[in-house]
Structure 1
């Protein structure tokens, strides 16, 4: 039998419940269990005036931002439209059916003011880390670190050669932020090399072709993760150069110990973190086992490599494959008077007469008068890293390190953060913190099952 025709005559009364219309298995219902914003008003109270018109509830704005980053909604204009229309989003924001959605411009005003002044987004992220620790998702024994480049909101057409760039007379906030971080190790102070191009819209972003394709302006998001369940322990924004990534690793390890009292036994990373200085910092200053490939530059001409020479620690000398010695100083008493090398590299040389009479001369020193070896003053830490690379634990760490790469893939493909929407170092920090917060919340929602419904 055909049903009755639908009419648009409004009902006088409705019995409607948002709670009943949000599915029990909706991801936001699961995430909501781990979002605690009870003290957010007290944190922000010093940044509001005691007079004037009432402001938008900051908890509402934070909940809307969580929705945007958890659900991959990159535009704040679109986010406001989605929250207005979507029942689950209204339920998560505690808006009800009649609640007004704030204008998109409200986010920008609060971001440049109260949120950054109070470091609110950093505190929000650390709340998720603390919750992961409380739920037993953090092992605290093995960590991994890596960085991934994210395109900046800048393009080549609106840029200037690096050696010709000058700040404008009326700089915008992105230029002011760039000038403020010129001496910071994470941005301008990371390398003395002048960039090939500097963007007029976002000069702190770095022109890079490190991915092997077309060059672009970018920032780097740096993750420090716990290897048990790939929980993000810390996140740091830097310019897109390798030196800044190593600096970010140190910052994140120190901050994790300070905030949560957790210090890993081992750290997994790729070869970019395998410099002698960084390995020495991990081993000697922090007592962390570096499960990191050692950065070596072996000879490529087919001659004997440094590993073919045997080092005698007690005698401070090398023995070559021909049985001859290489020393730093051959004159008696010279070593006692020598100062530490300014570049951190000791140089060991063979006697010229030994090399001239050696049958292996053609394989050892083509084009050289005598064989020379370079040894870092941090070679002890490098040797430890080489020894660790032969263990089963190292192989496990190398396999588990892929978890951080999977997080970056999730960040770009699922959360849609393959290009920044905000400009300047602070804009990059805000986006990376919110994205890491969303990933930790989604991790909690996935691994901690929903409680069974109460039976009556």
Structure 2
């Protein structure tokens, strides 16, 4: 028997509870257990006036932003629509059915003002990291670091070559916000001061973004999101935005390690990274902090023609000389030097030379230096640290760190595929920082919700 047609009829009174309509196993309930925003009012108090009309609740705006980044809702206009329609999102934001959702323009006004002036988004991120530490998800011994390209909101059509870019002639008062932020970061290690090499093209809409290309991919304007993670449970301990070049990414890692030590008293025993972080200066910096470097050494001494590389020569630190595979010596000087000279050259290297008589009669000359009269070797001032790091390669601990380092790549894949942060919506260095901080906060919240079981949660 066919049922009767359902006709919606209005009622004078409804008995409705959001609590009853949010499933107990919904991800939003698990995330809500670890969202602690009690301190943001005190944090923002100096940035609000004591008079005037009351503003939109900042905790409400942060909760709505967390929804957007946790569930891959990229548009703030779309976030407002989803919170208006979705009962679970209303429950998370502490909104009843009669409460209006803030307009999307409220987010831009606060983000460019109070939120950035007070560094609120980093405060929220660090609050979640502290909760991860409290729940025992951070071991504090094995860390890993890496960077990933995130496409900027800029295109090739609205750009110019470096030779036509006259940054000194920009009127800062009339320039767009992204251009003013670019001028403010010219002396920062993660941006303008990272390298003296200028990119081939500069975007007119977001000049701080880097014209670059990943392997086997077309060139784009991009920023780099840098992660420092604890490899026990892949918790993001720190995140930093930078230009998409190796020097800036290495500098961002130094900043993150120091900041993790200052904010959370976390000093890793081991750091895993790829070859981009294996420069002599970086390895020596880690050695000073007594951090074991499970990093491939950035080394260009290997030769493609089959001749002996520099590593085939043994060094005697006491005699300060090398011994070649044929048993001959390589020295700094083959005669007495009356005037004392600098230990290293301006480039940080010390040169060692073989004797012309030894090389001329050596049976291995064809395999050592076939195109030169003598063999020369350049030794970096931090070569002893490089030798120590080379000795780590192949050990069980090194191989374990290499395996754990893949968790950083998994986080980047989750960031781009699940959270849909393949391209930035905000421009400028501050826009990149805001998006990277919110995305890392969302990833840590989802990690807590997955690894820490809990009972029913009520709001």
TM range (shorter): over 0.9
State the match for 2:255 in structure 1: 251
Equivalents in 1 of 2:339, 2:351: separation in Å?
Answer: 12
| Contact in 1 for aligned 2:343/2:350 (Cα 8 Å) | no
Alignment of structure 1 residues 417-456 onto 2, 5 Å: 417-451=421-455
Instruction: Find the partner of 1:296 among 292, 295, 299.
Output: 299
Q: CA deviation at 1:390?
A: 2.7
Measured on the aligned residues, the alpha-carbon RMSD in Å equals 1.4
| Contact in 1 for aligned 2:350/2:378 (Cα 8 Å) | yes
Q: CA deviation at 1:391?
A: 1.2
State the match for 1:186 in structure 2: 190
Q: CA deviation at 1:313?
A: 1.8
Equivalents in 2 of 1:423, 1:271: separation in Å?
Answer: 30
Equivalents in 2 of 1:181, 1:280: separation in Å?
Answer: 27
CA 1:453–1:367 in 2, change beyond 3 Å: closer, same or farther?
A: closer
Q: Please state whether the residue corresponding to 1:375 is helix, strand or coil.
A: strand
Matched, 1:107 2:115: no
Q: Please state whether the residue corresponding to 1:347 is helix, strand or coil.
A: strand
| Contact in 2 for aligned 1:144/1:227 (Cα 8 Å) | yes
CA 1:421–1:184 in 2, change beyond 3 Å: closer, same or farther?
A: same
Q: Please state whether the residue corresponding to 2:239 is helix, strand or coil.
A: strand
Equivalents in 1 of 2:338, 2:192: separation in Å?
Answer: 41
Bigger shift: 396-405 or 35-44? 35-44
Q: CA deviation at 1:199?
A: 0.6
Q: CA deviation at 1:212?
A: 2.6
State the match for 1:134 in structure 2: 134
State the match for 1:199 in structure 2: 203
Equivalents in 1 of 2:50, 2:389: separation in Å?
Answer: 58
Deviation track 1:21-72 (CA, whole Å, cap 9, x = no partner) reads 0011111100001001112112112111122221111010000000000000
Equivalents in 2 of 1:82, 1:406: separation in Å?
Answer: 28
State the match for 2:273 in structure 1: 269
Q: CA deviation at 1:165?
A: 1.1
State the match for 2:391 in structure 1: 387
| Contact in 2 for aligned 1:365/1:371 (Cα 8 Å) | yes
| Contact in 1 for aligned 2:275/2:296 (Cα 8 Å) | yes
Matched, 1:166 2:166: yes
Moved over 4 A (4+): 333-337
Deviation track 1:221-257 (CA, whole Å, cap 9, x = no partner) reads 0000001000000000001100001000100000000
State the match for 1:413 in structure 2: 417
State the match for 2:28 in structure 1: 28
Equivalents in 2 of 1:388, 1:329: separation in Å?
Answer: 32
Q: Please state whether the residue corresponding to 1:412 is helix, strand or coil.
A: helix
Q: Please state whether the residue corresponding to 2:240 is helix, strand or coil.
A: strand
Deviation track 1:388-440 (CA, whole Å, cap 9, x = no partner) reads 11310000000000000000000000000000000000000000000000000
Equivalents in 1 of 2:47, 2:164: separation in Å?
Answer: 40
Q: CA deviation at 1:334?
A: 6.0
Equivalents in 1 of 2:441, 2:74: separation in Å?
Answer: 15
Bigger shift: 363-372 or 410-419? 363-372
Equivalents in 2 of 1:133, 1:441: separation in Å?
Answer: 13
Q: CA deviation at 1:99?
A: 1.1
State the match for 1:50 in structure 2: 50
CA 1:49–1:192 in 2, change beyond 3 Å: closer, same or farther?
A: same
Equivalents in 2 of 1:147, 1:253: separation in Å?
Answer: 14
State the match for 1:319 in structure 2: 323
State the match for 1:69 in structure 2: 69
Equivalents in 1 of 2:89, 2:338: separation in Å?
Answer: 75
Q: CA deviation at 1:451?
A: 2.3
Unaligned runs of at least 5 residues, structure 2: none
Matched, 1:5 2:22: no
CA 1:70–1:307 in 2, change beyond 3 Å: closer, same or farther?
A: same
Deviation track 1:180-218 (CA, whole Å, cap 9, x = no partner) reads 001111001111111111111100001002333110000
| Contact in 2 for aligned 1:146/1:222 (Cα 8 Å) | yes
Higher relative CO (Cα under 8 Å, sequence separation at least 6) belongs to: 2
Q: CA deviation at 1:19?
A: 0.5
State the match for 1:344 in structure 2: 348
Q: CA deviation at 1:337?
A: 4.3
Matched, 1:360 2:361: no
Equivalents in 1 of 2:215, 2:309: separation in Å?
Answer: 30
Equivalents in 2 of 1:48, 1:452: separation in Å?
Answer: 36
Q: CA deviation at 1:339?
A: 3.8
Return the TM-score normalized by structure 1.
Answer: 0.97
State the match for 2:286 in structure 1: 282
CA 1:134–1:453 in 2, change beyond 3 Å: closer, same or farther?
A: closer
Q: What is the aligned residue count? A: 453
Q: CA deviation at 1:10?
A: 0.3
